[in-house]
Chain A
Amino acid sequence: MSVRRPLPRWADIVLLPAINLAMAFLISGMVVLMIGENPLEAVQVILYGAFGYGDGVGYTLYYATNFVFAGLAFAIAAHAGLFNIGGNGQAYVAGLGAILVGLALDQTHWLIVMPLAMLAAGAVGGFWALIPGYLQAKRGSHVVITTIMFNFIAAALMVYMVNRVLKPNNTMAPESETLDVMGRVPQLREFIPYFGYSPVNLTIVVAVAFLVLAYILIWHTKLGYQLRTLGQNPVASKYAGMSNSRLIMIAMTLSGACAGMIAINEVMGVQHRLVLDFVADAGFVGIAVALIGRNHPIGIGLAAILFGALYQGGQELQFVIPAVTREMIEVIQALIILFTGAMEGLFRPALERGFVLLSLEQKAEATARATVDSES
């Protein structure tokens, strides 16, 4: 063992994730090299695909919208010490709330439909997370297990609902009826032609608002303080007289409601109907987004854009370099999750040692100055 001290905050938030990302790209590059393609060209294609033209930017932002909600959902629960892996299922069932409001308010302006759909999606998503929360708080069933199980229950429920309840007759596809044009959340391209055909829509404004709200919730409200206390030291929160069980249920509900906003983006803004598996695993990507973003809204915002870019750039890559298959793209995405999430601490010891060396030098300078001062 050698000298170890906690990293300075900026290094923890910026430098370490950057190194992890660089490692992930390096290894991905080797994978690309192995199949006989030029990794630099691949990076170029990804960057161009994600940020190079309006459609690409639009898609990147559209994906990022989902990832912001999913990342925040994970982070809110994580601040309370809860590992909510059920964001995917919560977002999925939230689609029910969104579509039912959307279909019920046929021929209604979106300015009315959207807030109501948000409430409904948030309520359903929140409820879906509240059940594991209740089981954790009152019965001690670990949320990791129950939320995973609730993902499966959500999938089964939604297949049933879409196939047997919401599906209009005479269609082959398992999907609900399509929303009226009036009630759809407008896509940004309607105002900004730059975005081409991309599906990025006004939900992204909600996502940004949620980032701000989450920041306020976690660091500027009494509830946020209590959630953080619970997350950092549940014995201390009990000592303080906070009701741990109540806080667990609140945290899970907020988390699920946040995940539910994915349904607004997908159902109200993009697909305009409820399709099977519309979440497309965004809930799981959210875990990686929150891990990279250190559960901080700013970090989550940036990480969401990173993953949005990877999704969109990856799609571009598949078109431009056909040898890079869908599976290969998934490998690259998985590598990034691996390095930034699961093996997040890989470079921490080395970095910490490096910083100690640095600080030693700084200290030497400081002593030198102090000596000069005292002598003068």
Chain B
Amino acid sequence: MKKPKIRELCEALRSFFSRPFTTTFPLTAHEPAKKFRGKPEYNEDTCVGCGACFQVCPSKAIDMVDEIKDGLGRRILIHHPKDCLFCGECERNCITGDGIKLSRIFDIAYFDEKDVQDRIEHELLLCKHCGQVIGAVKHLTWIRKKLGNLAFSQPVLISRFTGEIRLATGAEESFSGETDRTDILKTVCPGCRRLAFISDEGGER
């Protein structure tokens, strides 16, 4: 402009003498706001492995893998920052309230994605008859605790309860061929329990 007006001149002087708006990140550290939505992180103590975060994630950034090997089950939940929206739906829908929480970590550039993934593993309870997954052990324990006395209506939860207060030898439950009525009270998956309900003591449906 040929003749800058006084207020623009004042503004120019103000800009010249004030601190720049840019910071010197990464040379200086950056402190994000208190409520900043950064990378979600699992909490080893409070996550129960229910998989709610996996179900609600809008961008499918959380993978839930159930591995069964040699009769032992393992559930692995992996969070991928490359797909994450940092929306906080996982935190919001976590059934325990703080199994997964958004941290304030924002600097997650990587060469190898595995360096920034967050994983948590849980032991799975498997059906003693057919080997299918019933659920994560910690999840079932959490449900049992939450239900209190009502937990006694569900045989699997009973076995979780009795398994905790009595030294479990692990060899009590036996099965003979087809499912029969007595299998209702054993640690079985919903599929097997359904078959057990429609059978009689002799295994006849």
Decide whether A and B are members of one complex: no
